[in-house]
Structure 1
Amino acid sequence: MNIFKLSLLNCAVSLALLSAGAQAATVDASKLGTELTPFGAEKAGNADGSIPAWTGGLTKAPEGWAPGHGDPYAGDKPLYSIDAGNLAQHEAELPPGQVQLIKTYPGYRMDVYPTHRSCTFPDQLAQRTREFAGQSRIASDGWQLEQAPGLAIPFPMPQSGVEVMWNYKLRYMGKGRRVQASLLLREKSGALSEFKQWDYEYYPYNDPAVKSPADSGGYEAKLLYDVLSPSSRAGEMYLVHGYLDKPQDSWIYFPGQRRVRRAPSFAYDNPIAGTDSLFFVDQLNMFTGALDRYDFKLIGKREMVVPYNSYRLVDKSNKYADLVGQDYLNRDKQRYEKHRVWVVEGTVKADKRHSFAKRVFFIDEDSWALLHVDMYDAKGNLWRVQEGTLWADPQLQACTNFEYTSYDLIARRYIADYFTQEGEVLDLTAAQEGRITDKMFNPNELRRRGER
């Protein structure tokens, strides 16, 4: 290769690296609020009308509605159902994981309802997303967040898979919330096991005072779990610090010892205690933790049938024994709609390891929430399938999600996590109204809470 050609090649490589680390050259902020929603989704509906235009979302609560009580779309009837009998007709609009669940479990079906684009965000977030559009950057390592303002969608017009993943990780869910939630699984005997706890969550990045990652102290999230049952584990507490630039730190309080200890293994594909190795740490909340072990490829955007407006499932009139069947969740309580989703493929880097050699993420264009994940082993076999929930909360002026499931296709068992139906508290504005504060989320506070 001559010197001239080598120089051109070096220039091309440099330009590619620059485009991967910055968005400023490709973002047209004038599209936000016109061609696109203020948050980066396509504003128009689709060609056949099965996905309507976005008209602002569900910003006012129907009379009598509260989180966990009522369904704004209770009058809707299913347009059609997808099951083993008509799967071939609808397979193209489903993630592979849903196809496999239908093929694997007799009676598994998906009831598809009219699409409601109910998701929105606060006005201030819309303003800041447009103001700072094009200013967020990915670091030269290809995954760290080098620059991004708080209370904004960092990459409203993403150019890469890792940018979509950061939109998911920093999506607005309020500044903090507290809830009584349960992890549930059916034993092989059919018995229902429940692990109930208080969950306290704090999101420093959902603050307009944050101008860059340094302003948040490098934190993505702070989480505190206070175990209520079973009695053998009651009083245990777990503190997790999620960071923007490294794996999370975690601590455990053991009530019998009255001591706080570091938990260095609470990350990546380490199994979560009490789940029979059916569930890894970084499967929490659909996906959590550092992005450093995967290369993220942006496959594109697709129209797909996904869980949406899950009010019937999350309603507090439900009982866990009725929801959690032996092989899958009660299908009468599930609602699916057709929406546009970003599809991102994560493949383990050559110099890293993870039990899931590949993950495929399906992320809602309106809310940036993760609605479905397919997980593959090193041989390319589909191993686990996760699906989430999503519902609009007019009090929060945003869509939120709690309940999600993880199906292990090899073990033929599943986990139902973050279920709130039988919990006494579902408080989505706890931080805004001072019921939780940043001071709660440190090891000394963990010890103090345990000893009181």
Structure 2
Amino acid sequence: MFYKYALKSLLYISVAGGLLAGTAQATTDAEIQRLGKDLTCVGAEKAGNAAGTIPEWSGKWLGAPEHVDFKGTGYHPIDPYAGEKPLYVITADNLAEHKDKLSEGQLALFAKYPDTFKMPIYPSHRDFRFPDSVCDVTLKNAKSAKLVDDGEGIEATTGGIAFPFPKTGLELLWTSSFFTYRPWSEELVSDNMYVLADGSRTHGQLKSANLALFLKPGNEGPTTGPSAYFLNVTNLPQRDRGEVNTGLEYFNHKKEPRQSWRYDPGTRRVRQAPEYGYDMQFPGSGGSITVDEVRIFNGSGVRYDWDIVGKKEIYVPYNAYGIHNQDISYDELLTKGHVNPDHMRYELHRVWVLEGNIKKGYRHLYGKRRMYVDEDSLLMLMGENFDARGQLWRTSMINYFYAYEAKTWQAGVGLYHDLLAGSYLAFNLVNEQKSAYTLNTGKIKAGNFGPEAARRLGL
């Protein structure tokens, strides 16, 4: 039932307005000429929708707007739209009026929690833009970027969007999960709260660092060498305190698979973790999410066949500053079944709908994946994961906000709902931390990652 409602109004169009069948096609000169004209420099439609409920893209702000008192990185996000009130609130009572603009996962949450789940709908805004360097690189990639090795690798120019005119599911997957434009370094201590069906909580906490030097301004160039580094040190739960997971990513998952190492405080040894990713349990999540589920999807997509279903207008978490407010305690935010809806912000936007179905001969906890990709940022905002029988099992959303210091969007708290268990994980919470997301400082280097770094941290 939910699937029928969620996909009823999908528009089978490409971002350029042509028929989309999911087969590989070359980007045309006519499409490229539209970048920066009726399309943004990364391929989104500048025009609003006919109903006027999605505004025209303005791109009027690069970095912090003049009216925002931005003090620098590491502070909790400041809302440029503070004071706005919801246009209306979707509840179980008026759901029928809005179901054509809701995802299957959202409909499932209404069905699971009809008395408490609701969605405050705010005015839609499209005011932030990418730096000019991102536009320049994206134009180059529109002409020459390509996937290699059966879609397991990419050859493109770093520092921009890979495929502003995605023709296949794999092109959209690479663009939205890996080769979009995000902060090039990130440091934070975050809380991960696993909320059980009865409302009780399990507290996890990670000290994390991520580095993607290929995104650092001035590093534009070919896709060679490591693409990114990651490090997670477990602070909580106490039984796992001191565990270190670190690794490297590459531009070709087939030729150079992800490398990862784990320091075990019990044995005081560092061991390589083969095939870290896919449906392995993410550290500190209590088994509630898989490694490749963080930020909706990450890593190799080799286990699935990917297809672009189309583009759709739906309500998505957007300009999500309020949920990170340090004045909101976890007790207030983390209510039974789902987070307190009063602290969520949803807007109507156009999104790509991307689906992956498990390939014959491959295995994964999820037999099917569905992602919703924002047309303006080309980031995955929401996801749905189905079990082997085709039943919707888990639904997730990432609360992105525009990070002024990085001049791009930053992934904030992720919400991962287990519809069968009635539990959810609030991931990357910073409300009760002294500092929030510390971005693009230049303080972390490649030497802060890998097996030697894990040994040093484990001593």
Common fold: TM-score over 0.5: yes
Contact 2:197–2:337 (8 Å) recurs in 1: no
Partner of 1:323: 333
CA contact (8 A) 1:304 1:340 kept: yes
**SS of the residue 2:342 aligns to:** helix
| Contact 1:22 1:137 (C-alpha < 8 Å) held by counterparts | no
Using the alignment, how far apart are the partners of 1:47 and 1:145 within structure 2? 39
For residues 163-196 of structure 1, what are the alpha-carbon distances to aligned partners after superposition, in whole Å with 9 as ceiling and x for unaligned? 1111112221121110111211124553322111
> Equivalent residues in 2 for 1:333-372 (5 A)?
333-372=343-382
1:241-280 Cα offsets, whole Å, 9 max, x none, are: 2333325222111234332112226321122355443221
Q: What amino acid is the match of 2:45?
A: E
The answer to whether the aligner puts 1:177 opposite 2:190 as a matched pair is no
Q: Which residue is equivalent to 1:70? A: 78
SS of equivalent residue, structure 1 residue 28: helix
Give the CA deviation at 1:69: 4.2
1:444 and 1:310, CA in 2 relative to 1: closer, same or farther beyond 3 A? same
Corresponding residue number in structure 2 for 1:262: 272
CA contact (8 A) 1:223 1:441 kept: yes
CA distance in 1, matches of 2:325, 2:444: 24
Shift of 1:20: 6.0
Name the residue aligned to 2:232: 225
In the TM superposition, what is the alpha-carbon distance from 1:389 to its structure 2 partner? 0.7
- Look up the match of 1:150: 158
Q: CA deviation at 1:140?
A: 5.1
Matched, 1:29 2:32: yes
Deviation readout 1:333-389 (Å, 9 max, x if unpaired):
000000010111111111212121111110001111111111112222111100111
Shift of 1:58: 3.3
- Letter of the aligned partner of 2:403 in structure 1? D
Matching of residue 159 in structure 1 with residue 167 in structure 2: yes
The 3-state SS of whatever aligns with 1:196 is: strand
CA distance in 2 between counterparts of 1:282 and 1:196 reads 19
Aligned to 1:244: 251
Matching residue within 185, 199, 208 for 1:190 = 199
Question: 1:285 is paired with a residue of what secondary structure?
Answer: coil
What is the aligned partner in structure 1 of residue 10 from structure 2?
Answer: none
Contact 2:25 2:167 in 1 (8 A): no
Q: Which residue of 1 aligns with 2:430?
A: 420
Residue in structure 2 matching 1:83, options 78, 91, 107: 91
Find the aligned partners of 1:299 and 1:85 in 2 and give their Cα distance: 30
1:438: which partner in 2? 446
Paired amino acid for 2:341:
R
CA distance in 2, matches of 1:427, 1:317: 16
> Shift of the alpha carbon at 1:109?
0.3
CA pair 164-375 structure 1, distance change in 2 beyond 3 A: same
Distance 2:140 2:197 in 1: 54
Q: C-alpha distance in 1, partners of 2:105/2:198?
A: 26
Deviation at 1:417, TM superposition (A): 0.7
Moved more, 345-354 or 63-72: 63-72
Write out aligned runs for 1:366-385 (5 A): 366-385=376-395
Give, as a single letter, the amino acid of the residue that structure 2 aligns with 1:222: Y
Among 50, 53, 56, the residue aligned to 2:56: 53
The residue aligned with 2:131 is 122
Match of 2:414, as an amino acid? Y
Q: CA deviation at 1:70?
A: 2.9
The alpha-carbon deviation at position 226 of structure 1 amounts to 1.6
Deviations 1:68-104 (A, max 9, x none): 2432111211111111111111111011000110111
Relative to structure 1, the CA distance from residue 118 to residue 193 in structure 2 (aligned partners, 3 Å threshold; closer, same or farther) is: farther
Between the aligned partners of 1:254 and 1:378, the Cα distance in structure 2 is: 33
Q: CA contact under 8 A between 2:197 and 2:422: conserved in structure 1?
A: no
Structure 1's 46 and 21: CA in aligned 2 closer, same or farther, altered over 3 A?
closer
| Residues 21, 139 of structure 1: 8 Å contact kept | no
Pairwise CA RMSD: 2.0
TM-score where L is the length of structure 2: 0.88
Query: Which residue of 1 is the match for residue 44 of structure 2?
Result: 41
C-alpha distance in structure 1 between counterparts of 2:141 and 2:325, whole Å: 37
* Mapped partners of 2:266, 2:387: distance in 1: 39
Change (3 A) 1:123 1:428: farther
| Residue aligning to 1:112 | 121
Distance 1:128 1:164, change over 3 A: same
Query: Which residues of structure 2 form unaligned runs of 5+?
Result: 1-21
Deviates more, 1:269-278 or 1:370-379: 269-278
Q: 1:407 Cα shift?
A: 0.6
- Within the candidate set 100, 105, 114, 1:97 is matched to 105
Q: Amino acid of the residue matched to residue 262 of structure 2?
A: I
The amino acid of 1:32's aligned partner reads L
Q: Number of matched residues?
A: 427
Q: Deviations over 1:301-349 (max 9, x none)?
A: 1111100011110122222222111210010000000001011111111
Unaligned 5+ segments in structure 1 are 1-18
Q: Choose the corresponding residue for 1:131, options 126, 133, 140.
A: 140
SS at match of 1:128: helix
Q: Output the CA distance in 2 between the equivalents of 1:336 and 1:127.
A: 31
Cα–Cα, structure 1 residues 63 and 140, in superposed 2: closer, same or farther, change >3 Å?
closer
Q: Decide whether aligned partners of structure 1 residues 192 and 211 sit closer, same or farther in structure 2, where only a CA change above 3 A counts.
A: same
Partner of 1:5: none
| 2:221 alignment partner AA | K
| SS class of match (2:229) | strand
SS of 1:390's equivalent in the other structure is strand
- C-alpha distance in 2, partners of 1:24/1:331? 42
For residues 283 and 407 of structure 2, what CA distance do their matches in structure 1 show? 35
Deviation at 1:120, TM superposition (A): 1.9
